[in-house]
Structures are given as structure tokens and as C-alpha cells.
Amino acid sequence: MYRIRFHGRGGQGMKTASRILGSAFFEAGYEVQDAPRYGAERRGAPIFAYVRAAREPINERGIIQRPDLVIVADDTLVAVPAAGVLAGVSARSVLLINSRDAAEVWRHRLNIDGPIVTLPVNTGVEDRAELPWIGASCAGAAARLVGVLPRQALVHAIETELGGLGDDVVGHNLENALAAWELMAPQYGLASEGGEPRAQEYQRPDWADLAFETARISAPTIYAAANSVEVRTGLWRTLRPVIDYSRCNRCWWVCSTFCPDGAISVDKDGQPRIDYDHCKGCMVCVAQCPPHAIAAVPEHQAQAEEAQPADIPGDPP
Amino acid sequence: MTQTATTFRRMKDLPSTHLLGTGTPMCAGCGGLEALHQIYDVLGEKTVFVNAAGCMTLLSVYPFTPFRGSWLYTAMASAPAGAQGIRDALDILREKKGLPPEEDLEVVVLTGDGAAYGMGLSATSGAMERDLDFIYICYDNEGYGNTGQQYSGATPHAARTATSKGAHGFAGYKKDLFSIWAAHRPTYVATVIGAEPLDLARKIETARDLEGPRLIIALAPCPTGWDYDPRESVAIGKLAVRTGVWPLKEYRDGRIQHTRVPRERVPVEEYLKKQGRFAHLFEPERDETLLQELQAKVDAYWDSVEVQGG
């Protein structure tokens, strides 16, 4: 059985990618499951989708713990623990990352032995939540990597799944899926079917057992005030708003009031401060700032600049 | 009409710190959350929220909450009934258990348009009939947003939704909830939008200082359901007001007053063309008939306002 896991951000079309790949397998005569994981499907938030395909009826259910192929549509997710990109990855799992960095860089960075393939598409797009047609590219690359799907199955799956959106959308997606299909030609068949896990290898899921308790203890009552701040929604961000204080008019009542999340507050000098732990990167402040003092910087670039302080010349190898 | 002195005379008077906790699961650029955090700053911590099923049910998911006070989750149609129970309990505590007035709480219903315009309308009608002392906040994103933007009683004519995908979009018309509510003659009814924060703050302040049923509809631009880049949320909200699509008004003491009359209205299509849900009005070719119909509706509304001297 093939066990394939897609990772992306809300808005990148991972659900569609899993549907296209699932339909392509079905075209080729496989039994198929494809499903996204239900959760916070918000734009920019980590999204999961799963495909199982086998020649025999599939009795396995639920999330895929031991993937044969992991597809990462957005390389900024690798560093996000909540995305769980590497969960259950073994030496035989293939990791396909959409990234401007080479496979060797990722091998060094992640320190894993298994095969890593990079899919350098749309790497110039700054707002990673808007990667155009990335879902189709991922599905096309995955279809080639498994090595058992004819090109026509992929084409027909895209026409079937996206037909309702019009010829233009089908055309763009076909073009991108087939470009990714061609790019993966050297790695044709790299991802192989995983065997059936034996009962004695069964590992209990890492969950906590809850003992029976009286309602006073077990009823979900929250006694803390505004403890939602413990949730770091800043991880959703693909663009970062950065204030140029030399141009800031200190009219904080604009950005601080309009920020939907209330993530901009005012310090004692009357300057607005953005809370990057919680800013989701909607860019409303960038659009509304009267003197245009807030810039939208790609998050990966902002993080790279933070990691390399400007006052240290050069970067030792 | 009695005019209350406002503490919000200019933008600078708006709060610079915010009560509502960050870290909520609302979408980036959510126009409903924008309105709610502004509303919460004016209402304050001595509030208890009664939330009907909808997007904002996700605000308080165990073990996290952005509120500083209590929150009750009800089924979609029953938030005003939940509010009645809490109000009654607070009244009993005050009368029989000596709860001091300064520890009393304001009961605030929070629902989307699915509940407000549709399923919950009869419970709201009943609450107004009983003269329940509460505030009702409806965040109106013109569809069942949390489940994928199916049409609701608040969906505007011609908008494309998950359940109105034809060439002309939604065939029905947005229900006039403001008038339906006002016809009950409650204490206060108002429309607001997060993109006009000063107008919003003054109205919430007015509502806060009154008693009885006080009902607010906040138009909530929705990047996910209306299909636009989240950065456009405030720009689209301002256009809703400047085109006259979303009239800012209030009902009090039997009279309706418009708080912002756009003297030179921007053409409605400027508002429509920013949103993917209306893209079929422009592509592959302009649908002049529908565009003119939508403009004529707005013009007719404002003509009637001018006749009434509103």
C-alpha cells in the first residue's frame, strides 16, 4: 500500500492535490482513500491531506503515521513543529520539498538518511499562501515519484477534479502538473509501497489517558482570562509586516484599531508595536498605514535576517 | 432624540490596548474579529458572552479563550434564550444573594448571520418581546462562513456562494434585518462595521449605557467567503459604506437616523469588483443588467432616505 502525506498551508490547495492524486490512482485501477484532516483550515495555517492507494481493499483508517512519500508544498513549514512534517519518516520514506534550496542542503539541515527530492516551482512568489497552482504541481510530482501511474491518469484526474472551474483553470493546472511530472522523470518510481505493519510492531499512539473524574474536575471550564495568547498564531504568517519607525507618524489608532487580531499595541512612547507571536500576516496594517511606513517582508527572509545579525560581517561556513 | 455625550470624539480617543486575547483561530484578515475586538474594548470585562454556533464558536475552544469573562455556547437558534437564562440568574443573585450592582454583568449575545437572519430570529423576537436586558452582536459575513460559505438570509443578490454557483449567483435578496428588529421597537438597533471604528465605538458606547434589548449588526468582510486578499478587508469595508451598500444607521426612541450619509456615493461596482464572489459580473464579460440592478437598489434606498430626511 502507498501511504502518501501532503503538507501545505491553508490556501495552497493541498486538499485538491490529494484528490487529484487519489483520482489518478483510481483511474489506474487502485483502491483509494484521500482525505484532508479537519482542523483549523485557515489561510496560512498548517494543513494535512492523506492518500492511501493499494491493489487490495484498504482497511487502514485515520491519519498516516508511517508515510512512504511526504510532499511539502511550502518549505517554511519544515521548521513549524505543529506541522509535523517529519513525523514517522523512516530511511525509506521519500521527502519531496518545494524549495529554492537544493536536496543536499536539506539533507544536511534535517540530518536524515532517506531520499530527498526538491521541486523548485514558484519559489519567487513572496506570499507563500498564494503559491499559484502549487497543489497541481505537487500532485503531478507525486504521481511520477510513485512510478505506477500513466501520464493519462494524471491528466484525466485533473480534468475530472477541476472541470467545474472552467477551461482556464484546468489548462493552468494541467500545465503545472505536467511540468512537475517532467521534472521528476529522473526519480521515476523512487517512492515504493510500504508493507503491512505487523501486529507486534504496533506502537500505541502518543496520547494521554484520562481517568474518570467527577464533573467538577473533568468538565471543561476555563478559569484563566484571555489565555488564548498561549496559541502562537504567528506561525500562520507567510508575510511579515515591518514598521519603519523613521516614517511612522505615531497615528497608532489606525493600525492598532484595524488589526483584526488586536496584535498591534502602543508602547509608552506612543509607538505601535506588532506582536509577531500572534500576527497572522493579513497585511491590513500595511494596506491602511497612512504614511506607508509598514512593509510586507517575506517571512522566510525576515527569519533569515534575524538569524544572521547585520553587524556580524560574513557568515563562517 | 436624546444625544449622549461621547468619549469618542476623534480617532485618537480609541483604545490603544486591547482586551480581547490574541491567538484565536479566526482567519487572517477576519472582518468579524476586527469588529469584535473593537466592541469588546468599549463593553469591557464585565460581560458574559452567549455564542450561537458559527465561526466565533471557535474563539473559546477548551482550554483556551480570548475573553476575560464567561462564555456560554448554545445551539444555533437559541442564543437569546441562553441570554435570558443568564440574565435571570444574575437578577436572582442581585435580589436574593446580595450581588452588588458593580459586580453585575452585561449579557452579550454573539452570533453570525446564519443564526441572526435565519434560525435564531424567532428566539430574538421572543427576547425583544420580553424586553430582555441584553446586547445582541451579529457579525454578518453574508453566508454560512464556518462551513464553506453556503448562502444565508443575509447573502446579497447575485453573490456566488457554495450553494449558488450559477451564472447569476444567489437569486434571492439580503433580508432587511435592521428593519425586522426595529419593528419590534426595542431600545436600540444599529449597524456598524470594523472599517469605521469611530462610528462603531460611539454606537457601542450608546448601547452600553442603555437598558433593554440592544441589537447591533456588524458587516464582516470575509476574505475566505467573499474571496479576496485578506489585506483588502478594511478597504472593502470602507467601500461598503462609501458606495452606500452598507448604510450606517441607528434606531432609537422610534426613530431611525443615518450616522454616515455618503453624499457622493462611489459606484457600487467598485465594491463588487474587489470580491471574487462577484467576479462573474465582470468576467468573461460585464453583466450590465445585474450591475445596473444592484446599483439601482442602492440608489432607491438612499432616495427614500433623503425623502424621509433621515
Mean pLDDT over A207-217 rounds to 76
Q: Does A258 touch chain B (CB under 8 A)?
A: yes
The amino acid at residue A113 is D
pLDDT at B116: 98
CA of A201 to nearest chain B CA: how many angstroms apart?
34
- C-alpha cell recorded at residue A77: 513549514
CA quadruple B217, B218, B222, B227: dihedral sign: positive
pLDDT at A11: 80
User: How is chain B split into domains, by residue range?
Assistant: 11-308
Q: Do A227 and B21 touch (CB under 8 A)?
A: yes
pLDDT at B61: 81
Q: Does B230 touch chain A (CB under 8 A)?
A: yes
Nearest CA in chain B to A296: B231
Contacts of A233 in chain B (CB under 8 A): 22-25
The mean of the pLDDT values for chain A is 89
pLDDT at A115: 95
Residue A277: count of CB within 10 angstroms of its CB: 15
Q: Does B221 touch chain A (CB under 8 A)?
A: no
Q: Do A233 and B59 touch (CB under 8 A)?
A: no
Q: Is residue A208 scored above 90 in pLDDT?
A: no
Nearest CA in chain B to A230: B23
Q: Does A160 touch chain B (CB under 8 A)?
A: no
Which residue is associated with the grid cell 447573502? B155
Q: Do B68 and A265 touch (CB under 8 A)?
A: no
User: Higher pLDDT residue, A23 or A204?
Assistant: A23
Q: pLDDT tens for residues A245-287?
A: 999 999 999 999 999 999 999 999 999 999 999 999 999 999 9
Contacts of A252 in chain B (CB under 8 A): 16
pLDDT at A131: 66
Q: Is residue A38 scored above 80 in pLDDT?
A: no
pLDDT at A317: 41
Q: Residues A21, A34: contact at Cβ < 8 Å?
A: yes
User: How is chain A split into domains, by residue range?
Assistant: 2-196, 230-307
Question: What's the angle, vertex CA B256, arms to CA B252 and CA B260, rounded to 5?
Answer: 110
Cα distance between residue A220 and residue A214, in whole Å: 12
- Cβ neighbors of A315 (< 8 A, separation 6 or more) are A308
- In the 8-state DSSP scheme, what is residue B270? H
pLDDT at A130: 63
Q: Residues B41, B15: contact at Cβ < 8 Å?
A: yes
- In the 8-state DSSP scheme, what is residue B234? H
Q: Does A262 touch chain B (CB under 8 A)?
A: yes
CA of A267 to nearest chain B CA: how many angstroms apart?
9
Whole-prediction pTM: 0.85
**Alpha helices, DSSP H only, in B130-250?**
177-182, 197-208, 223-226, 233-242
pLDDT by residue, tens only, chain B of 310 residues: 445 578 999 999 999 889 999 999 999 999 999 999 999 999 999 999 999 999 999 898 878 899 999 999 999 999 999 999 999 999 999 999 999 999 999 999 999 999 999 999 999 999 999 999 999 999 999 999 988 899 999 999 999 999 998 889 999 999 999 999 999 999 999 999 999 999 999 999 999 999 999 999 999 999 999 999 999 999 999 999 999 999 999 999 999 999 999 989 999 999 999 999 999 999 889 999 999 999 999 999 999 998 766 5
Residue A124's pLDDT band (cuts 50, 70, 90): low
- C-alpha cell recorded at residue A211: 481517568
Cα distance between residue A176 and residue A27, in whole Å: 20
B80-110 burial, b for 16+ CB within 10 Å, e for fewer? bbbbbebbeebeeeeeeeeeeeeeebbbbbb
Mean pLDDT over A74-101 rounds to 90
CATH number for region A230-307: 3.30.70.20
DSSP track, A95-153: EEE--SS-HHHHHHHHT--S-EEE---STT-SSGGG-TTHHHHHHHHHHHHHS---HHH
ipTM, 2 dp: 0.94
Q: Is residue A203 scored above 80 in pLDDT?
A: no
- C-alpha cell recorded at residue A102: 537544493
Q: Do A227 and B232 touch (CB under 8 A)?
A: no
Across the interface, of B64, B224, B232, the residue whose CB is closest to A287 is B232
Fold of the B11-308 domain: Rossmann fold (3.40.50)
Q: Does A257 touch chain B (CB under 8 A)?
A: yes
pLDDT at B1: 45
Cα distance between residue B64 and residue A229, in whole Å: 8
Across the interface, of A232, A260, A262, the residue whose CB is closest to B233 is A260
| Cα distances (Å, whole numbers) of residue A121 to A58, A98, B195, B234 | 33, 7, 37, 32
pLDDT at A181: 95
pLDDT at A76: 83
CATH number for region A2-196: 3.40.920.10
Residue A310's pLDDT band (cuts 50, 70, 90): low
Q: Do B64 and A231 touch (CB under 8 A)?
A: yes
CA of A194 to nearest chain B CA: how many angstroms apart?
35
Q: pLDDT tens for residues A93-123?
A: 999 999 888 999 999 999 988 999 999 877 6
pLDDT at A316: 45
CA of A315 to nearest chain B CA: how many angstroms apart?
35
